[in-house]
Structure 1
Amino acid sequence: MSSRSIIFVASDSEVIADTVIEQLETEFTTVQRCVHYQAVAIAQMFLRSEADVILLAYQSLDSTIHLRKTLIEVCHKQRATPFHTVTLCNKASVEQAYQLSKQRFFYDYVVFWPLSYDPYRLIMSVHQALDDLGYNADIQQQRYELETKKYSIKAITQLVEQMLAEQKTKKSELNNLIESALKKLNQAVLTQQKVAAHNPLVAMVIDDDEFQCLLLKKMLENEGYIVHQATTGMDALEQLNQVHPDIILLDVFMPDMSGIETLRQLKNEPTLEAIPVIMVSGHHEKEVVLDCIMLGAVNYLVKPIDKETLRAHLPFRL
C-alpha cells in the first residue's frame, strides 16, 4: 500500500468533499469522489472504484452509519477483498464515533467539525488504514471473509425466521437448514480475480429455453467471459467433466432434471462444489429460494434479467 492506492470520498456536501479532497491530494495521487444521498448508489460506485479506503464525510453521523451498513451489505455480496472505512465526525458525535470504531464498525474516526487545528490527522489516518491493509493482509483477508460468513448467516437466518413465522417450515427442520447453510459457508472463499489476459473467465449457462440461454450468453460475453451452454442438467454435468467454469447460471425449472436437483448434484461433487452457482427463474416462491440457498447457491435472480442486474451479481469482474 502506498500513495498510489485509490482513496474514495463519499459525502453529502460538495464543499466538504472539496475540502477533504484538497487535503488528501497533497499526498495521494488517486482520490475519487461521490456526492450523493442514496446509500446503495454510493456503495455501487465504491465497488466500481476498487478503492482500498473509503472516507465518509457526511454532516450527520447517522447518515454515515446508514451508509456503512449499506456498504457491509453490498460489499460482502460482491467484493472479495477487504477495505477500510474512515469516518469524519464533529465534537458532538465524537464519543459515538469512538465507540463504533472500538467495535470495528469503522476503522478510524477523525474530528473534522469545527475544522481541526491538525490538518495532518486526516492524512495520517488514511496512511494507517493503508498500512494496516498492506502489512496485515492475511489477517485482514481472514477477518473480511469471517464478516462475509456472518453476513450470509444473518441473511439465511432472517429468511428462515420469516418462513417459520408464516408456518411454512417446521421448527424440527431448523437444525437441518442451519447445517446445510454452514456447509455452504465453510466452502473456500474465492478471494482473487483472475487476470483476464492470462486466465480468461469462464461461465456456463444451463437453461432449457434457447432464447434465455443466448441472452445470458451475450451479456456474459460482454463482461469478458467465455461461455459454455447446456440445455439440460444431464448435459451440463457431462460438460463439467471437461469444463471447470468460474461461475454457473442455472435455471430452476427444467424438464428432465430440475435446477434444484442439478444444484444438489453439483454441490455433492468435490471437484465442482466450490463453483459459485447463481439460480435464475421466472418465479420467486420463498420455498424454492430457500431450497436453493440451503443447497449452496450464491444468489437467486428473477427473470427477465437485465445486464446491470447480472453484472452487479457476478462474483468476478474484469
Structure 2
Amino acid sequence: MNFKEARILVASDGHTNSELVSKLLLEEFELVHLSWDESRIAADFEKYRPQVLVLAFETLELAERYYLGLFRQSQIVHTMPHRTLLLCNKEDVRRAYELCRKEYFDDYVLFWPMVHDTRRLCMSVLLALRALSSITQSPKVADIAAHVRQVGDLEGVLDRSMAEGAARIDITDHSLRMASEELGDVIEGFADLLAGDLPGSVPSAADAPAVSAGQSQRAKAAPRLKEVENAMTPLREWLDGVKVAVAPPLASARNLQSLAADHRPLVLVVDDDEFQCKLLARLLDTKRYELMFAHSATEALAALRRCRPSLILMDVMLPDMDGVEVTRRLKASPAYAMVPVVMITGQSERNVVQASLQAGAIDFVVKPFDRERLCAKVSHYLQLD
C-alpha cells in the first residue's frame, strides 16, 4: 500500500475544524477529503471510500452520533475495510479510551486544544494504515482453517477412490483371467481335435497341414495368453506408486488439520439484552466454539470490520436497527453473504418469519431457549455434527 496516496476522510461538525485537521494531514498525505454536512454523511463516505476516517468533532457525543448515523444510512460502510481515528479533548480522554477499548473506534488522539506534538496525528494515521494493510493482505485465520479442513477431507476421498480403483482392477483382472482360460481351452480343444487326440477323432493325411497350423497357433497363443494374465501387474504397481507419492502431502494435510482443529469457529451473538447474552453464554457449548457479543446493530457491523464469524445469532429487536435490516445488509455484501444468520426472536408472527427469510436468514431460535435444540442448530450450521 502506498500510504502517501491513501484515502483519508475528515468528518467534522464544522468547516473550521475540518480545515485545520486537513492542513496538518496534507503535509504527509495527498488524498485528504472533508465532510461536515450532516445530510451527506453516507454520500461523502461512499464517494471517497476512505481507508482512514478521522472524526474531528467538538465532543465525543457528536462523533458517536455521526458514526451511528453512518451505519444507519450507508449500505456499504460495513463492507469497506477502514480504520476510525477519534480526536478528543483532555476532559474526554477517559471516555475516548473506553470507546476504543470496546472497539467502537480504533484509536484516539488528544487534539483539543492544539498540542505541541502536531505530528502525532499523522503518526496515528500511518499506524492505522499499517494495521489496515496487514488485515487486508493477510488471509483470515477462520478462512485458512476452513480450507485446511477441506484439504483434510482429501485423504478420505483419495482413499475411497483408490480402494474403488483397486476393486475395479481386481474385477478386470478376474475377467481377463477367465477369458484367458476359456480362450486357452478353446484353442487346446481345437488343436487336440486336429491332432486326433480327442476320442473318436482320426486325422487323415489331408489333415496334416491343418494339424500343423493348429499346433503352431497353440504355441503362439500360449505367450499371448500369459501376457493377458500379466496385463494388470503394471497397473497395480502404478496404483501402489501413487499411494507412496501422495503419502508425504497427506501427512502434511493431517498435521494442518490437527492445527485447524485447535482454531474454534466464532459465533457472533447480536442481542441488546444483557441477561439474554449471559444466558446464551451458559447454554452454548463454548468448548467447541468461541462467542462474541454485540449489543446493537452498529456494534455488530463495526465488529464485522475486524472479524468474520462462522455463524451469527441475530436478535430481531435491536435498539438502533432491527435485525432483519442488518441481515439484509450483510447478505447484500459478498464478504458476508455466505455467513449463516439465525434469528433470535420471541415473536412468532408470520410477517416476521417471512421478512427474515426474505432478508437471508436460514433459521430461527425462539425465546425462551431450549438448550438441546439451540446447541443442535448451532452445531449443525457450524458443521460440527
Which of the pair is proportionally richer in helix? 2
